[in-house]
Amino acid sequence: MAPLSPLLKTFCSTLTDPNWRATLQAEFDALLANDTWTLVARPPGVNVVTGKWLDVKNAFLHGTLIETVYYEQPSGFVDSSRPNYVCKLNRSLYGLKQAPRAWYSRFAGHITSLRFVEVKADTSLFIYRRGADIAFLLLYVDDIVLTASSPSFLQQVIAAFQWEFSMTDMGPLHHFLGLSVDRRVDGLFLSQRQYMLDILDHAGMRDCKPCSTPIDTHAKMSANGVPVADPTHFRSIAGVLQYLTFMRPDLAYAVQQVCLYMHDPREPHLAAMKRILRYIQGTLDLGFHLLHTSTADLTVYTDADWAGCPDTRRSTSGYGVFWGDNLISWSSKHQATVSRSSAEAKYRAVANGVAEACWLRQLLHELHCPLRRVTVVYCDNVSAVYLSTNPVQHQRTKHVEIDLHFVCDRVALGEI
């Protein structure tokens, strides 16, 4: 789509521009071709939705609505013979609350008919197995990552999708949801360099001085300090930093500490956020390297501080899960309750790590890559280790009973 000219101040003036008019006409034709609506007389007393223009090949056009929704005719393309009529939607559009559900139901229903099976551990992942051939499909709204055991089988699956949906094969995976994918001899290199540059631009720190660490080693941040001048800007940056932690485990703890105070940010919190941004400036070339592996085991490392938060005295627990040499899952999270001892704080961290390991074991099993060995969970607290194998309750540990039984059950089953 052509960039909007500064002279086109209103939508009406946009309609007079030939480039924009052609674009809107193409979109309108796509809406009609997909039987998106039916023009009907406006029913009395109904709510008529107003909205803006959509993308031409909108995935949500494939979603069939169950509810009755009325929509105003698109501006500039009103039927001259029926100007007072409204559009009764047959298909979902962006902006409707029902749209994501309708599209997912439509797409999932079709690929299920193609004998794809939805993964119970992750409902956005589907698997198709035919003899020795296997295909994996990952769905995020209208973005799809598809891979198969052979190029010929992959093309057969793509052709089956294109028969039903208007889809474009973008070739080998290079970008997905802001991630840059670089294929290397020994694996994949994932990077968010452009996303990091966009964050620095948004924060106005594109030319800031780099910093070697994302956080200092002083005491934890507290709720004290002078309120920041623009809390909305603070929250917007904190929000985009959270997405960055999906590929940057070195930022997980620092970002988690800043996000604890999004509701009422103070100047010390802003200073900590700027330190994170300065660290990002100096690590733009860092990425995530996933190595090829044939057989691998799950290993979990857990840790927690004790009463680290100066305001609530809650602990912060974290874990890192390795599949062979690849770090595949990590977390840094405030514990929900106050731990009465360091052993309790460590044990809650163990429970979180065990829960993640159980989910990954189930996921790998559904991916037809079952683990052959028990998962080892590391913890640096002897009392917490003993608790995981001793189900006997006593006065000092009865308040951690749920976590205790959960971990003990997994140990008894031979999974952990």
Specify whether 275 is located in the same domain as 309. Answer: no
Specify whether 382 is located in the same domain as 363. Answer: yes
Q: Show which of 282, 312, 337 is a domain's final residue.
A: 282
Q: Show which of 282, 306, 337 is a domain's final residue.
A: 282
What is the reported pLDDT for 1?
Answer: 39
What is the reported pLDDT for 220?
Answer: 76
Half-sphere exposure in the Cβ direction for 47 (13 Å, CA): 5
User: Could you tell me which residues are beta bridge partners of residue 128?
Assistant: 135
What is the reported pLDDT for 387?
Answer: 81
Specify whether 340 is located in the same domain as 367. Answer: yes
Q: Is residue 106 part of a domain?
A: no
Specify whether 63 is located in the same domain as 157. Answer: no
Whole-model pTM: value is 0.79
What is the reported pLDDT for 6?
Answer: 45
Specify whether 231 is located in the same domain as 339. Answer: no
Q: Is residue 406 part of a domain?
A: yes
Q: Show which of 100, 122, 137 is a domain's final residue.
A: 100
Q: Is residue 183 part of a domain?
A: no
Structural domain count, the chain: 4
Specify whether 93 is located in the same domain as 119. Answer: no
Specify whether 165 is located in the same domain as 72. Answer: no
Q: Is residue 60 part of a domain?
A: yes
Specify whether 304 is located in the same domain as 406. Answer: yes
For the chain, 416 residues long, the average pLDDT of each consecutive 10-residue run is 46 72 79 82 84 56 73 82 87 72 82 92 93 92 89 92 82 89 92 94 95 85 92 95 92 94 94 96 93 85 92 92 94 89 90 95 92 93 84 62 78 87
> Whose CA is closest to 88, among 43, 28, 121?
43
Q: Is residue 108 part of a domain?
A: no
Q: Is residue 2 part of a domain?
A: no
- Residue 42: domain span: 11-100
Specify whether 324 is located in the same domain as 370. Answer: yes
What is the reported pLDDT for 156?
Answer: 92
Q: Is residue 220 part of a domain?
A: yes
Specify whether 248 is located in the same domain as 344. Answer: no
Buried b (16+ CB within 10 A) or exposed e, 49-72: eeeebbebebbbbbbebeeebbbe
Specify whether 234 is located in the same domain as 312. Answer: no
